[in-house]
Structure 1
Amino acid sequence: MTTTTALDLTSELLTATAVSKAWPFEEARKIVKRYEATGFPKTVLFETGYGPSGLPHIGTFGEVARTSMVRHAFRVLTGDKVETRLLCFSDDMDGMRKIPDNVPDPAELAPYMHQPLTAVPNPFRSDYKSFGDHNNAILRRFLDTFGFEYEFASATDYYKSGRFDEVLLRAVERYDEIMAAMLPTLGEERQATYSPFLPISPKTGRVLYVPMKHVNAKDGTITFDDEDGTETTVPVTGGRVKMQWKPDFGMRWAALGVDFEMFGKDHGPNAALYDRICEILGGRAPEHFIYELFLDENGQKISKSKGNGLTIDEWLTYAPTESLALYMYQKPRTAKKLYFDVIPRAVDEYYAFLAAYPKQDAAAQLTNPVWHIHDGNPPQLDLPVPFSLLLNLATASNPENPTVMWGFISNYAPGTTPETHPHLDKLIGYAIQYFRDFVKKDYRAPDAVERQALEALSAKLGELPADADGETIQNAALDVARGIERYQDHNKKSPSGGPGVSVAFFQMIYQVLLGQERGPRFGSFVALYGIAETRALIDKALKGELGA
């Protein structure tokens, strides 16, 4: 993502930033207010967390994208005079408590249960040593491809290198305070065995969930019974111990001085506890943003271990990255389903926002998602054909390659070629791939009334010039429908004062001609597909050849 500072903005836009209701600006103003009494530190730190227990999904990417949008808004508000960092932190020292369903050979990982993810062998046979390293690499690969400005951090590296040692020793000193904060949040049985420290067994290498027998603040050590019953004492430093996930949040915030972190609704009830642990350990809790969770097509929470959501690569097989960024920007506090059917709409909405941007005033531009997706500098693109129409063109033309699609587009918009519109060429490739993988045709035969309507429609189209525009074609279709009683809607009025047209007319066209329940504006489709080609399609439908 390119970076645009406040100095690049017009005075009108700068004025509008102060009152913009766009959520990234609202969050950025919280960080500005955080330091209005003391002045800014040298660096304001934004952080995102990632649990590499399974392959990264789009929700993980969304957290980075959204945090980047807040970061950019903050840089604009401060005139880019305050240094910022975005740290993408991977909790890869967590023990593997469940074998993911989507690894090649789950049984292969069974002996490594409860070992840190960076100690579990890589089941994907890639160049990375461990399961955690492999999943971290997948996340970094996409973030790099998208162009995010970030730093990657590994919990394993931070614990083992001593980056957390100072605060871990402080946690030993303030063990009783941490326990006093944690125990009221636990059930009676859990209270009896709970410890904020999780030692790594010196014998098995597993992350142990065991009670502490002794916590020595002077020596910075903890004592516990290892898996074989042997009483064992280890220092909390140097990666020999990690913290339970709830105290780990607060410990990390205190150790790194995090100023902003967003997390999903499932963490919301624990936010105050994370803050309290951070304060006990001498830190200042960061500003929060709690977003709603993504759901699969069945309304279930997306899980990395289940693999029931779209992966990053899957989305990008069928749509450009900007459409994914738009999906992340829109209504972050509203639960949204995340599956293949949402992709076409996201693509078309992105280009609609992009087309609207130059015509908007400063206030509207700052609430336009493309301003935040492109760091305040949206590109100027000419897209003569929307993505949904490309999908319908693919449905009607059954293209084997983009050349077929370009033949229709060149007739529709002379002078438009892959060289003049490379962005459109990419969209055609996405449309063909989406059509091949997801568009299922279910043609039905027309009944007697529908045959009459289609015959009349074909005849009407034959009266039009070959280069008739979409509006002319649409009006011709409406004229046909108004003359057939079944398609007259007496709750609507036509321009002539007669009955309007029922949506059932166009639904019939989509079902009979395209084998789909829904479709584009009919006039726009015919203008692109061609009048002669549409009449041939109608003829095939009347002969019963489309279903075959």
Structure 2
Amino acid sequence: MSDLSTSPVSRLFRTQLGFQPKAWPFEEARKLAEHVASKPAERPALLETGYGPSGLPHIGTFGEVARTSWVRQAFTAMTGRPTRLLAFSDDMDGLRKVPDNVPNKEMLSAHLGQPLTRVPDPFGTHSSFAAHNNARLCSFLDSFGFEYEFASATDYYTSGRFDAALRRVLETHDEIVAVILPTLGPERRATYSPVLPIHPKTGQVMQVRMDAVDPDAGTVSWTDDNGERFETLVTGGAAKMQWKADWAMRWYALGVDYEMSGKDLIDSVRLSGRICRILGAPPPVNLTYELFLDEHGQKISKSKGNGLSVEEWLRYAPPESLGQYMFNQPQRAKRLFFDVIPKATDEYLSHVEKAAALQSRLDGAADEAEQAAATTLCVNPAWFIHNGHVPAHAGSPVSFGMLLNLASVANAETPEVLWGFLARYDASVSPQTHPTLATLVERAIVFYADFVRPAKVYRLPDERERTALADLSQALAIYEAEGATAETLQELVFEIGKRHGFEPLRSWFGCLYEVLLGQSEGPRFGGFIALYGVRNTIALIDAALIRGGEA
């Protein structure tokens, strides 16, 4: 991200006093800049994301890394200071339950309570269940081009990186317990300790009362369910910390400056922050983001596997569209289901078009013009999604929604069908010259087959609609040979709707979508006619009129 520190956006921060872009990553970056202001400028600001590998990685995890990366990008542009992003996996946690969406459940059930890095991989591809899920996470992050460092809790515990912090936990053991006990029920209060020793015989993470805590020796003494007493070192991976204390210990040990988290962890952030201060360090800056909901309005879950996976999203749209979805209003709850994909994709394409125009204005611009372009560019989601510079090939001359409608009307089963229409619409486009469009064409075919085609329901036109459709067919015949622009065709569609008394005019467009396309919503119809072809559109209208006449 070093190039961001010398970009036109970064120059604005150095030359324009009070320059404060409104995009949410910059708002977060300002909080982070205040947090690290007293620390040496050469020390990298440490941003962290957490991942629980008890289930397969899902879009919520992906979104946290993406959003944190954008805060990092804004911070770099704003301050020029170095940064690190640590993607931390809590893979020493005990397996609490068997996820619903994995094979070999019986095998996993035999390892309940053991650290995830000691649980066999049910997929049979890695050394442990955690290793499998960690690899999945990293492959997704790598495919999106994130710059990050992966960290394993098991590695950090066993290598000794946490040893000094763990001894500090023992020194403040009673203070930490006093913070947590009021939040627990009577049964848990009787046994709570921030320390979870690993049973030397069963390998399970033990949630038991401590008989004794010895900060000088760095040990805890405890008794298992069989009455057998043990003395365990808290260092070297022989024990781990309980959730809220574990989070705080990590912040303290590593000097974490920024970490965002979901709305369901508000209380945990507050308590972990108190524990971090007890240990002797300020907690990091935090952003609370809203949760993603599935099609039923329920919170998505790794173990349930509801909502969308990253693979499923990428089956239907390019990864940048997922970035667009994640960028929008992180503090607002959003549905995360298949029907949000087309809108997110076209939002991304719209922002790319605007960002590309701003970038072209920056080339060779005078100071004042450069400042105006950079001011607008740095609040554009595409600027964040593409790490400060939108590639020339990122845009598309045709929207994803338009391609879906074209596939729907043409009953397209292969990309070649859509390219036939596209070539006639614009002879300069091809998969080679427009790689983003090529990706959209491929994804549109799949999305159409899986979601659009099964949901298509055509209705018959009423008398007024039949008359208006016949009028549109006749009017289009004028342009069959000579052609017309999308804007001219759009004006024609508007004119005919007004002529036949459709009020409001959206009822006329509703007729076009429902009668001709078999769906409740659709594209800007003039652009659709230009792409599908005037002659084909006339045939489409005439076929609908014949269906209506036969009824």
- Classify the TM-score, shorter chain: over 0.9
1:468 paired residue number: 484
Query: Compared with structure 1, are the counterparts of its residues 302 and 109 closer, same or farther at alpha carbon in structure 2 (3 Å cutoff)?
Result: same
Unmatched runs of 5 consecutive residues or more in structure 1: 490-500
Question: Which residue identity lines up with residue 103 of structure 2 in the other structure?
Answer: P
Please give the root-mean-square deviation of Cα atoms over the aligned residues, in Å: 2.0
Residue 534 of structure 1: how far off its partner (Å): 0.9
* 2: CA distance, partners of 1:385 / 1:170: 60
Size of the aligned set, in residue pairs, is 531
Query: Compared with structure 1, are the counterparts of its residues 62 and 547 closer, same or farther at alpha carbon in structure 2 (3 Å cutoff)?
Result: farther
* 1: CA distance, partners of 2:228 / 2:311: 47
Unmatched runs of 5 consecutive residues or more in structure 2: 359-371
Q: Identify which of 155, 158, 167 aligns with 2:156.
A: 158
Structure 1 residue 179 and structure 2 residue 194: aligned?
Answer: no
Deviations 1:452-471 (A, max 9, x none): 22222211111224421122
Deviations 1:405-442 (A, max 9, x none): 01111111122122221221111011111111111211
Verify the 8 A CA contact 2:66 2:326 in the aligned structure 1: yes
2:471 paired residue number: 456
Structure 1 residue 412 and structure 2 residue 425: aligned?
Answer: yes
* 2: CA distance, partners of 1:14 / 1:408: 50
2:391 paired residue number: 379
Verify the 8 A CA contact 2:413 2:449 in the aligned structure 1: no
Query: Compared with structure 1, are the counterparts of its residues 38 and 430 closer, same or farther at alpha carbon in structure 2 (3 Å cutoff)?
Result: closer
Question: Which residue identity lines up with residue 503 of structure 1 in the other structure?
Answer: R
2:366 paired residue number: none
Question: Which residue identity lines up with residue 46 of structure 1 in the other structure?
Answer: L
Question: Which residue identity lines up with residue 42 of structure 1 in the other structure?
Answer: R
Query: Compared with structure 1, are the counterparts of its residues 430 and 14 closer, same or farther at alpha carbon in structure 2 (3 Å cutoff)?
Result: farther
Residue 47 of structure 1: how far off its partner (Å): 0.7
Deviates more, 1:380-389 or 1:113-122: 380-389
TM-score (norm 2): 0.92
* 2: CA distance, partners of 1:546 / 1:309: 43
Equivalent residue of 1:251, what SS?
A: helix
1:45 paired residue number: 46
Deviations 1:3-24 (A, max 9, x none): 5322132644754684112221
Structure 1 residue 73 and structure 2 residue 74: aligned?
Answer: yes
Matching of residues 346-361 of structure 1 within 5 Å: 346-357=344-355, 358-359=357-358, 361=373
* 1: CA distance, partners of 2:436 / 2:458: 32
Verify the 8 A CA contact 1:264 1:293 in the aligned structure 2: yes
Deviations 1:191-233 (A, max 9, x none): 1121111111111111111111111222111111123221111
Deviates more, 1:117-126 or 1:353-362: 353-362
Question: Which residue identity lines up with residue 522 of structure 1 in the other structure?
Answer: F
1:479 paired residue number: 495
Q: Identify which of 309, 314, 317 aligns with 2:315.
A: 317
Residue 386 of structure 1: how far off its partner (Å): 0.9
Structure 1 residue 55 and structure 2 residue 76: aligned?
Answer: no
Q: Identify which of 490, 513, 518 aligns with 1:515.
A: 518
TM-score (norm 1): 0.93
Question: Which residue identity lines up with residue 421 of structure 1 in the other structure?
Answer: H
Equivalent residue of 1:288, what SS?
A: coil
Question: Which residue identity lines up with residue 473 of structure 2 in the other structure?
Answer: S
* 2: CA distance, partners of 1:8 / 1:361: 12
* 2: CA distance, partners of 1:370 / 1:83: 23
Q: Identify which of 137, 140, 144 aligns with 2:138.
A: 140
Query: Compared with structure 1, are the counterparts of its residues 547 and 172 closer, same or farther at alpha carbon in structure 2 (3 Å cutoff)?
Result: farther
2:509 paired residue number: 506
Structure 1 residue 394 and structure 2 residue 407: aligned?
Answer: yes
Query: Compared with structure 1, are the counterparts of its residues 13 and 222 closer, same or farther at alpha carbon in structure 2 (3 Å cutoff)?
Result: closer
1:98 paired residue number: 97
* 2: CA distance, partners of 1:155 / 1:33: 29
Matching of residues 124-523 of structure 1 within 5 Å: 124-126=123-125, 128-357=126-355, 358-359=357-358, 361-381=373-393, 382-439=395-452, 440-466=455-481, 467-485=483-501, 487=502, 489=503, 502-523=505-526
Deviations 1:225-252 (A, max 9, x none): 1232211111111111111111001000
* 2: CA distance, partners of 1:38 / 1:503: 58
2:34 paired residue number: 33
Equivalent residue of 1:229, what SS?
A: coil
* 1: CA distance, partners of 2:159 / 2:550: 65
Equivalent residue of 2:260, what SS?
A: strand
* 1: CA distance, partners of 2:37 / 2:236: 37
Question: Which residue identity lines up with residue 389 of structure 2 in the other structure?
Answer: N
Deviates more, 1:30-39 or 1:88-97: 30-39
Deviations 1:117-138 (A, max 9, x none): 1111111122x11111100000
* 1: CA distance, partners of 2:305 / 2:411: 31
Equivalent residue of 1:287, what SS?
A: coil
Percentage of pairs with the same residue? 53
* 2: CA distance, partners of 1:546 / 1:399: 27
* 2: CA distance, partners of 1:547 / 1:331: 50
1:113 paired residue number: 112
Verify the 8 A CA contact 1:384 1:413 in the aligned structure 2: no
1:494 paired residue number: none
* 2: CA distance, partners of 1:547 / 1:455: 15
* 1: CA distance, partners of 2:142 / 2:387: 16
Verify the 8 A CA contact 1:325 1:373 in the aligned structure 2: yes
* 2: CA distance, partners of 1:279 / 1:55: 33
* 2: CA distance, partners of 1:84 / 1:139: 21
2:362 paired residue number: none
Question: Which residue identity lines up with residue 265 of structure 1 in the other structure?
Answer: K
Deviations 1:59-114 (A, max 9, x none): 101111111111121212222xx332111000011111111111123233111111
* 1: CA distance, partners of 2:209 / 2:550: 68
Deviations 1:351-387 (A, max 9, x none): 1111112247332222111122222212234521111
* 1: CA distance, partners of 2:116 / 2:549: 53
Verify the 8 A CA contact 1:444 1:547 in the aligned structure 2: no
